């Protein structure tokens, strides 16, 4: 087998920690992946992977080779794309963004990106959970909120303002809250983190200090779509990025309340794995995505 193909297979096995998952992503039989790893270990004269029934992980030698293979494979793919597409980068990108940003902002804007970079294909994941970049072989992810990942390269984009809203129907039934004391007689739609399951309290900033309140709630959700849907169904107040509900506010379905008691804005960050060579296709997509977000929601 060609040496570059061996490198590609090896890096994919390390990324996915699985021969089977690597084979599926590469479109190869599992036996071919196993044979390729054995051939590569024979060529370099070292054991590259620890194998168990549940997981595959690189040895010390394997990790050292992995870092070099990433650079070699990325350079080869970049060179191949350069000759196929002139000066334009080419290849496939795996990207993950939060669900609402993906549906409302990124997906509708992709035709413009493809027009500028016809050699790049995008596999777009849209989810509110925290994606494992290495385990799921993702090139970059957009995160909204505080970061818990270690060992990742972070590129700060800006802060996403949050507003408090309720449906016009809810306000007609329960009245308008004018201060924090009023919240004690109101209902909220609770939001549970899709990654941790933690239910977030109501938040606001007062004199530069973050304050929290546990409000009454009849429903708890773990996704932005359901969060907004429950609010529209008159089930309570929510705290939401302004871009998420601007159309509902324009039509009068939702109304901003307590504008002087907003929660802290959420940081937006683009993350890359420290193990990945940042190819030109990742760079140009990142630059395009950041410019798009700055234009549309910041």
Same domain, 43 and 107: no
**Whole-angstrom Cα distance, residue 255 to residue 70?**
50
Q: Domain limits at 255?
A: 162-264
Same domain, 128 and 141: yes
Contact 26, 13 (CB under 8 A): no
**Whole-angstrom Cα distance, residue 246 to residue 251?**
9
* Dihedral angle sign, alpha carbons of residues 273, 132, 150, 270: positive
The pLDDT value recorded for residue 72 is: 81
Going by C-alpha positions, the residue among 159, 89, 162 that lies closest to residue 119 is: 89
**Whole-angstrom Cα distance, residue 111 to residue 132?**
27
Cβ atoms < 10 Å from Cβ of 95: 22
| pTM for the model | 0.69
Token pair listed for 227 = 């969060």
What is the DSSP-derived secondary structure letter of residue 48?
A: -
Residue 211, classed as helix, strand or coil, is: strand
Contact 180, 135 (CB under 8 A): no
Q: Which element (helix H / strand E) includes 251?
A: helix 242-251
Residue that finishes a domain, picked among 84, 115, 150? 84
Give the chain's domain count. Answer: 3
Owner of token pair 């009023």: 182
CATH number of the domain enclosing 70: 1.10.10.10
Contact 65, 44 (CB under 8 A): yes
Same domain, 60 and 21: yes
Residue that finishes a domain, picked among 64, 84, 104? 84
The pLDDT value recorded for residue 249 is: 96
Helix residue ranges per DSSP H, the chain? 3-16, 19-26, 30-44, 60-85, 99-101, 107-116, 168-174, 224-232, 242-251, 280-296
Token pair listed for 157 = 């984009």
Digitized pLDDT (tens) for each residue of the chain, 298 residues in all: 788 999 999 999 998 889 999 999 899 999 999 999 999 999 999 999 998 877 889 999 998 898 788 778 877 776 666 655 556 777 778 899 998 899 999 999 999 999 999 888 898 998 877 777 766 768 889 988 877 655 678 889 999 999 999 999 999 999 999 999 999 999 999 999 887 889 989 999 998 899 999 999 999 999 899 999 999 999 999 999 999 999 999 999 999 999 999 999 999 999 887 555 567 888 899 999 999 999 988 7
CATH number of the domain enclosing 253: 3.40.190.10
Contact 153, 271 (CB under 8 A): yes
The pLDDT value recorded for residue 90 is: 76
The pLDDT value recorded for residue 233 is: 98
**Whole-angstrom Cα distance, residue 44 to residue 50?**
16
Same domain, 172 and 244: yes
Contact 78, 280 (CB under 8 A): yes
The pLDDT value recorded for residue 230 is: 98
**Whole-angstrom Cα distance, residue 283 to residue 15?**
20
Contact 223, 182 (CB under 8 A): no
Same domain, 133 and 196: no
């Amino acid at each position: 087998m060609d040496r570059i193909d061996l490198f590609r297979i090896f890096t994919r096995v390390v990324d996915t920690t699985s021969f089977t998952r690597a084979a599926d992503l590469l479109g190869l039989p599992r036996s071919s992946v196993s044979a390729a790893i054995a051939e590569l270990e024979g060529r370099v004269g070292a054991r590259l992977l620890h194998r168990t029934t549940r997981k595959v992980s690189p040895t010390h030698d394997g990790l050292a080779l992995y870092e070099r293979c990433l650079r070699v494979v990325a350079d080869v793919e970049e060179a191949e794309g350069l000759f196929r597409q002139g000066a334009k980068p080419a290849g496939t990108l795996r990207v993950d963004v939060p669900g609402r940003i993906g549906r409302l902002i990124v997906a509708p804007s992709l035709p413009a990106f493809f027009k500028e970079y016809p050699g790049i294909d995008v596999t777009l994941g849209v989810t509110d959970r925290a994606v494992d970049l290495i385990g799921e072989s993702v090139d970059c992810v957009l995160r909204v909120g505080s970061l818990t990942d270690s060992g990742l390269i972070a590129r700060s984009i800006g802060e996403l303002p949050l507003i408090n809203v309720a449906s016009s129907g809810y306000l007609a039934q329960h009245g308008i809250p004018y201060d924090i004391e009023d919240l004690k007689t109101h209902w909220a739609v609770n939001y549970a983190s899709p990654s941790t399951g933690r239910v977030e309290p109501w938040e606001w900033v007062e004199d530069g200090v973050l304050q929290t309140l546990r409000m009454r709630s009849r429903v708890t959700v773990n996704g932005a779509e359901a969060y907004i849907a429950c609010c529209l169904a008159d089930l309570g107040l929510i705290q939401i990025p302004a871009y998420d509900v601007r159309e509902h506010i324009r039509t009068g379905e939702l109304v901003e309340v307590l504008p002087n008691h907003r929660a802290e804005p959420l940081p937006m960050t683009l993350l890359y794995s420290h193990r990945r060579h940042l190819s030109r296709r990742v760079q140009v997509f990142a630059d395009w995505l950041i410019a798009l977000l700055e234009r549309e929601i910041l």
